[in-house]
Copies of this chain bind each other. A is one copy, B any other.
């Protein structure tokens, strides 16, 4: 059907309302996905549809076999960087989880997940036909996952079904409080029971050091657009050799008339996965990512500084484990909520105040509590953000110590 010209007009000159150049963006899920300069250049070069496939080797016709650009080499380096044996780039972290669940489980099986797992972990299990059993999370303000409870939950599944769970999943760093879990605890439990351990590193791998071997992970899932300075959508699926046959099982379907078969294709990946801009930005940013994870302690230091400054405002407190060991932060900001009650813009006053100072990324309308992420900001920007919050607090007569 012909779409009228006036409706097509809205797709012309698509622009973001603010850019990384002229604003400080504290958006909790965006900081780790800001492109590197190399990625910016690469995205222009490989923006066209199948451009990554110029030199697809005709025999295998598989993305992971392409050497120009160095996709095949990248998969090797990526696995090594994560301390794993094999890596694949898939379309999303959630797809990586689905692939692991689908190939490790049998419909009806359980997966044991932490109670702070992202919604996509639950849905990935459901799409794979699996059920979910949660590991409990402690109360406010720390919201610690009870890591030792993975053992009792595995026992519970065994009692209930007579079978072990298909996998256990731990969210390395949760999306709510940015708590960093000690994955080794779960790695050991999973190993003792002989249950595959899926470590969801969406918020960790790519910004902080992650060594799958050391953590005892059998599968690592990651998100390129969340934490690897890559365009969306990109997921990472990294495996230990022992799971390769199961998780990367080849297709066995065959045409009944033509007898065509596709034994080179990895079933759960549906063959080739991410061929364009997201893959090439992931590759182009990789050298910077390898270097930046070594600066992680400094990134955390900046967050701690901002938290200390914010907590000078009476009534504001950081949620989650203290001190922060990740840049994703959740704060309770009751005093700002009180201001909002008497402000004509209600909850939007805080957004307005920040925006007028060229600070964005705090969810508009929220004042009782909100999340932010400082990853990759300079010390100067951090100090400016801290000063801005203090200034706003003082403007509205809050107590600042």
Which A residues form the contact surface with B (CB < 8 A)? 1-3, 5, 7-18, 20, 27, 29-30, 32-35, 38-55, 58, 68-70, 73-74, 77, 80-83, 91-92, 94-95, 98, 102, 107, 115, 119-120, 122-127, 131-134, 136-137, 211, 224-226, 229-233, 251-253, 255-258, 260, 262, 265, 267-268, 270-271, 273-281, 283-284, 286-287, 290, 294, 363, 365-366
Contact = CB atoms under 8 A, between A and B. Distances in A.
Contact of A267 (B33, B38, B127, B136): B127
Given A14-B280, A115-B257, A278-B276, A43 B47 contact: yes
Contacts of A294: 2
B271 A94 contact: yes
Contacts of A225: 49-50, 275-276
A183 to B, nearest CB: 16
A119 B252 CA distance: 11
A94 B270 contact: yes
Nearest to A117: B255
A143 B393 CA distance: 74
A354 to B, nearest CB: 14
Contacts of A10: 70, 73
Contact of A51 (B30, B77, B253): B30
Contacts of A136: 257
A12 B14 CA distance: 29
Given A123-B251, A126-B252, A257-B115, A98 B132 contact: no
A264 to B, nearest CB: 9
B33 A16 contact: no
B38 A122 contact: no
A50 B33 contact: yes
Contacts of A98: 270
A65 to B, nearest CB: 15
B30 A49 contact: yes
A276 B231 contact: yes
A101 B208 CA distance: 39
A11 B283 contact: yes
A127 B32 contact: no
Given A276-B277, A277-B277, 9 more contacts: A1-B82, A8-B286, A12-B38, A14-B69, A92-B273, A119-B271, A122-B260, A123-B253, A233-B275
Given A30-B51, A73-B10, A276-B278, A80 B3 contact: yes
A44 B43 contact: yes
Contact of A14 (B91, B262, B284): B284
Contact of A20 (B48, B81, B82, B224): B48
Nearest to A49: B33
A276 B12 CA distance: 17
Contacts of A230: 49
A387 B12 CA distance: 38
Contacts of A276: 225, 231-233, 277-278
What 7 pairs across the A-B complex have the smallest Cβ distances?
A33-B49, A232-B276, A49-B225, A91-B91, A277-B277, A232-B275, A8-B287
Contact of A17 (B12, B68, B231, B280): B68
- Which of A35, A92, A270 has the largest count of B CB atoms less than 10 A from its CB? A270
Contacts of A267: 123, 126-127
- Which of A14, A27, A68 has the largest count of B CB atoms less than 10 A from its CB? A14
A203 to B, nearest CB: 12
A44 B20 CA distance: 12
A40 B255 CA distance: 40
B123 A265 contact: yes
A233 B283 contact: no
A332 to B, nearest CB: 18
